[in-house]
Chains A and B, each alone.
Chain A
Amino acid sequence: MLRRVGPSLRHFLLERKSSAGYSSYSSEEKMSRPVQARRLEGIDKNIWVEFVKLAATYSTVNLGQGFPDFPPPDFLKKAFVRALSGENHMLHQYTRGFGHPPLVKILAQFFGKLLGRDVDPMTNVMVTVGAYQALFCCFQAFVDEGDEVIIIEPFFDCYEPMVKMAGGMPVFVQLRPKAPKDGQLMSSADWQLDPAELASKFSERTKAIVLNSPNNPLGKVFSREELEFIADLCVKHDVLCISDEVYEWLVYDGKEHIRIASLQGMWDRTVTIGSAGKSFSATGWKVGWTVGSNRLLQHLRTVHQNSAYHCATVAQEAVAQGFQRELELYGKPESYFIQLPKELQQKRDWLVQSLDAVGMKPIIPEGTYFLVADISEFKSDVPDVPDSDEPYDSRFAKWMVKNKGLAAIPLSAFYCGAHKNNYNHFIRFCFAKEEATLKAANDILQKWKREKTSP
C-alpha cells in the first residue's frame, strides 16, 4: 500500500533490497513510496486500541485491560505527594537519565538480596518508562535484522511487534494444555512446554528467548525444573534471556517465583524486567526497570539515552520510597508484597467460583492477576461464522461487552497470526478489581446463565 506525501512523486537513487520485497530502482525511475519507514510494516495493528475503546463505550464491568480498579497503597500515594510538594522543587526537573539515584540504589539493594549477588546501582540497574520500554530497549539493543527470538505462546502481545520492529524473526513455541485430573479445574501449571519442541526452536540464528513468568495471560508460574531446562538451552546455544517478571509478587498458593537470572550461567545472559505499576498497583506511573550485567545493560543505556533518556523524577522518587518501606518490611505480614498477593488470591478464588458456577471453565492461575476461562458452553450465544477472518473468541468478547456489558480479552490476542485459531474458545479476565466490581461481574454471569437455561 503506497501513500504519498502531497501530490508530488519522489525520486530514488538508491537500490533497495528488503525482506518486504521492494524491487530495486534505477536513478532514472521516479516513484512514490510510503511516507512511513519500513520498520512499521505489519506492526500497526494493536488489540488494545480496539478493545479499550469497546470497554470504554459499552462495559459496565471492565475485567479486560490489566490494571487495578483499586488505588495504589496509601504509603505510596503519600510518597508521591511528598515528592511533588516538598521543599526540594528540583524533583520537578531532570534526574539522572539511567535512573534516579535513590531509586536505582534501593532497587540494587532489593534485587541484590533476591538474586543473591552484588548488584551495582549505576551499572546493573536501569530505570525505564514502564516495563514496556524496558522490553523495547532490550529488543533494540540486541536484536538485529535476521536474528531469531523465541516467544512462548500465549504471550503478552507487544513482544511480537517489538521483535519485528527490530528486524528480528519471532519463533513461536506453544504452552500446551494437559488434561486436568477428572472433575478438577485446569490449572495454569497444566500448560507446559514440550521439551523436545522447545529445544528444536533454538538455532544458530537464535538471539534471545523471551520468558514471562508469572505468565500473562495464563498465570503460569514456571517451576524450577522448567526454568532450568530453558536455562540449559540458553547456555548451550549462547542465547540471551529477556525475562519479563512484572508479576513477580503475584504468586499464589505458596508457590515460589524463581528468577531465572539466579540460575547457573544465567546472570551474564539475562535481563530481568520489573514494574512499579504491577508491584505497587500504580500502572499509570509508568516506572519500570531492568537488572542485569553491565555487559548487557551498557547497550540498554545506549538505546535509552537515544530514545527517551529520562523518566519522570517525581514518580521515581515515590517508587524509591515505596521500595525502601518494602525492604524494611520484607517478609513481614505488613509488607505490601505480601498483602497484595494475599488479597488477589481471594479475588482469584472468587472469580474462579463465579465462572465455574455458570459453566465458564476457569484455568486457575498460579500467578498474575489474570485468569483465562473456556467459554465453550456459551458458544450458542455467538454463532460461528465459518469464513470469518476474525478468531471466534474475539467475536465472542466483542459480543459479550456489547450485549452483556462485561469486558474481557480474547486469548487469541496473545497468539501470533498463524496460531490465533488454535485456542479460540478462551477469554482472559483481569481480577485486580474491587469486590464490588467482581460482584457485579458475578451478577452479569448469573443473569446470563439464567437467560440461557430458561425457556
Chain B
Amino acid sequence: MLFASRSFCCLGIRTYQLRTDLLSRSIKLSASATMTFRHKNTRRIEGLDSNVWVEFTKVAADPSIVNLGQGLPDISPPDYVKEELAKAAAVDRLNQYTRGFGHPSLVKALSQVYERVCGRKIDPFTDILVTVGAYGSLFSTIQALIEEGDEVIIIEPFYDCYEPMVKMAGAKPVFIPLRYKNDGNSASSADWVLDPAELANKFNSKTKAIILNTPHNPIGKVFNREELQVIADLCIKHDTLCISDEVYEWLVYKGNKHIKIATLPGMWERTVTIGSAGKTYSVTGWKLGWSIGPQNLIKHLQVVHQNTLYTCPTPLQEALAQAFGIDYKRMDDPDCYFYSLSRELESKRDRMAQLLQEAGLKPVIPDGGYFMIVDVSTLNVDLSDVDEKQPYDYKFVRWMITSKKLSAIPLSAFCGPETKRQFEKYIRFCFIKKDSTLDAAEVILKNWNKQTA
C-alpha cells in the first residue's frame, strides 16, 4: 500500500505526505508477491520537488515565443571572454582536475578584484571558495552553516531557491516582505523597503542567518547604506550571520551605488558574500560562482564543497581568471566590462520601461539588476474560469505565453506562502536581451490592446 505523493496548495497551506516507510516495513510481503520497493525520497527533500523554472523554461523554449522570462542574456558574452576559454582549452593540463577549492589563478584574480572593492586583504586560499555558480555557493553556505533548529530570515520577494535550500538544511525560513512605502503604485525599486520594526521582530535567539540579495532579484532594489546598517545592527545584536547574494553587483544604474554589507563595521566576520561569473560576464552557462568571507566561515563551505562536487571545471576557471585580469587592469577605465555592461543594460532598462508604459502599465523601475516587475492587474485580463487554486500571476503568464507569445515569470514564485496573494498581480520581465528581442516585445506590447479590445 503506497500513498501517492502530493502537496496541496489550499490557502497557502501544505499538507505533508505521510511517511510510507514505516507502513511498508510493517507489511510483510511474501517473496513470491510483487517485488518490495520501499524506496522514497529522504526527509530532507520532502516537498521540494516542484520548481518554477522547470515549467517556465520548458514553455519558453519554443522559439516563436519572445522570452523575457528566465534570467539569462541572449546577448553574446564579450569576445575576449570566449577567446580566453579557447586558449585555456588548448592547454592539456587545463583539461584535468585543478585545486578543489578554486583554480589558483582564479582565486588570485578574485582576491585582487575584491580586495580593491572591499578595501581589505582577502586571502585567495582561505577566504574564497569557487562553486558551481552562485547557486552552488548558496548551497554550500547553507549546508555548511545552517541546520535543524535554526531560523533563517528571507526577504520577500526572494530568488526562489533560498526557501527550499533552507528547508533542505532542516531549518525554518522566516519571511519578511519588502513593502512599498508610498501610497498608490510605486515607480521605483527604491520605493520598496523593509519596515525596521517588523524586521527586528523577526530576529530571535534561533536566527542563524539572514539572506540578503542586493541588487535584488526580482525587484531590482539596491539597498542603500542606511538600510544595510539596519540589517547589520540586527546581525551584530543577535550574533547572526549574513548570507549576501550580490550576483548583480556590477549592474547598478545611475544614481545608485552597490555597497557590500561585509564592509560595514562588525560585518566581515559574520558575512559570506556570493558572486557570479554568469552575471558578471554574461556567461550563465559557465556556472561559476564564488563565496568570499573570513576563513572561519569559508573553511566550512570548503568542507561541504569537498564532499559534494570537489572541484569546478578547470578551463572555465582559467578563462575567467584571465578575463578578470583584463578587467582588473581597467577598473579605473569606463571601458571596463563591469561598467560598460551596466551602461548597456541601463538603456535596455529604460527602453523596457517605456514599452511597458506605452502599453498602459506601470513598471517598477529597477535601480539595479536586469529584471523589472510590473503590476498587470490594470490590464484586467479575466482568468477566473481558469484553475482557481493557482495564483493569478501564474495563470496570467501562461495565458500571455499562449495568446501573446511573450513570456515572463510570475512573481508569486518568489514569495513565501503568506505573501503570495500580495504579489500575485506582478510579473517579472528580464531585459538583458538583444535589440531584436526587445523589438519583438515592443510589437507584442503595442498590439496588446488592439487584440484584447
Contacts and interface: CB of A to CB of B under 8 A. Distances in A.
Interface of A: 3, 5-6, 8-14, 16, 35-40, 43-44, 46, 48-49, 52, 65, 67-72, 77, 80-81, 84-85, 89-97, 128-130, 132-133, 136, 140-144, 158, 161-162, 165-166, 204, 207, 235-236, 238, 240, 265, 268-269, 277, 281-286, 295-296, 298-299, 301-303, 305-315
Contacts of B316: 312, 314-315
Nearest to A91: B285
Contact of A133 (B49, B53, B92, B309): B309
A162 B266 CA distance: 35
Interface stretch (B6-14, B35-43, B187-195): B35-43
B404 interface: no
B39 A94 contact: no
A48 B404 CA distance: 55
Contacts of B312: 129, 286
Interface-central residue, A13, A14, A39, by most chain B CB under 10 Å: A39
B139 interface: yes
Given A5-B270, A77-B89, A92-B286, A39 B143 contact: yes
Contacts of B314: 284-285
A158 B239 contact: no
Nearest to A166: B42
A93 B132 contact: no
Contacts of A268: 35, 37
A283 B97 contact: yes
B296 A3 contact: yes
Contact of A299 (B45, B96, B139): B45
B296 A81 contact: no
Contacts of A269: 37, 39
A306 B48 contact: yes
B178 interface: no
B206 interface: yes
B149 A314 contact: no
B76 A89 contact: yes
Nearest to A207: B39
Contact of A85 (B54, B82, B146, B287): B82
14 contacts: A8-B239, A38-B147, A48-B310, A81-B89, A93-B74, A130-B311, A238-B39, A283-B95, A299-B41, A299-B42, A301-B49, A303-B45, A308-B132, A312-B287
B37 A284 contact: no
Interface stretch (B297-305, B385-393, B418-426, B442-450): B297-305
Given A84-B89, A284-B314, A158 B97 contact: no
Interface string B1-44: 00000000000000000000000010000010001111111111
B95 A141 contact: no
Contact of A310 (B35, B100, B133): B133
A94 B95 contact: no
Q: Which of B36, B49, B85, B239 has the largest number of chain A CB atoms within 10 A?
A: B239
Given A37-B143, A85-B86, A299-B40, 11 more contacts: A39-B143, A48-B100, A49-B306, A91-B285, A132-B310, A140-B44, A204-B25, A236-B31, A269-B37, A306-B165, A312-B313
Contacts of B25: 204
B230 to A, nearest CB: 19
A282 B316 CA distance: 13
Interface string B258-269: 000000001001
Contacts of B147: 37-39
Contacts of A307: 135-136, 139, 165, 308
Given A93-B285, A165-B307, A238 B45 contact: no
B145 A36 contact: yes
Contacts of B309: 128-130, 132-133, 136, 286, 308
Interface in B363-385: none
B136 A308 contact: yes
Contacts of A65: 97
Interface residues of B, number: 87
Contacts of B283: 92-93
Contacts of B74: 90, 93
Contact of A36 (B53, B98, B270, B300): B300
A84 B36 contact: no
Contacts of B204: 13
A38 B169 CA distance: 11
B306 A46 contact: yes
Given A11-B205, A142-B42, A68 B86 contact: no
Contact of B45 (A141, A277, A283): A141
A209 B185 CA distance: 58
B169 A306 contact: no
Given A37-B169, A46-B306, A265-B35, A283 B296 contact: no
A141 B149 CA distance: 21
A89 B85 CA distance: 13
Nearest to B150: A37
Given A8-B239, A36-B145, A92-B82, A71 B92 contact: yes
A40 B57 contact: no
Contacts of B70: 94
Nearest to B83: A85
Given A77-B89, A89-B77, A303-B45, A40 B300 contact: yes
Nearest to B71: A94
B106 interface: no
A283 B312 CA distance: 10
B211 to A, nearest CB: 15
Given A52-B99, A80-B89, A284 B315 contact: yes
B325 interface: no
B139 A306 contact: yes
Given A5-B269, A81-B86, A85-B86, A144 B42 contact: yes
Contacts of A283: 95-97
Which of B70, B300, B313 is packed against the most chain A CB atoms within 10 Å?
B313
B337 to A, nearest CB: 14
Contact of B144 (A40, A96, A144): A40
A307 B48 CA distance: 11
B42 A36 contact: no
A136 B308 contact: yes
B296 A35 contact: yes
Contacts of B94: 284
A40 B303 contact: yes
B331 interface: no
**Residue of B57, B135, B145, B309 with most partner-chain A CB within 10 A:** B309
B241 interface: yes
B38 to A, nearest CB: 6
B140 to A, nearest CB: 9
Contacts of B139: 306-308
A296 B284 contact: no
B432 to A, nearest CB: 10
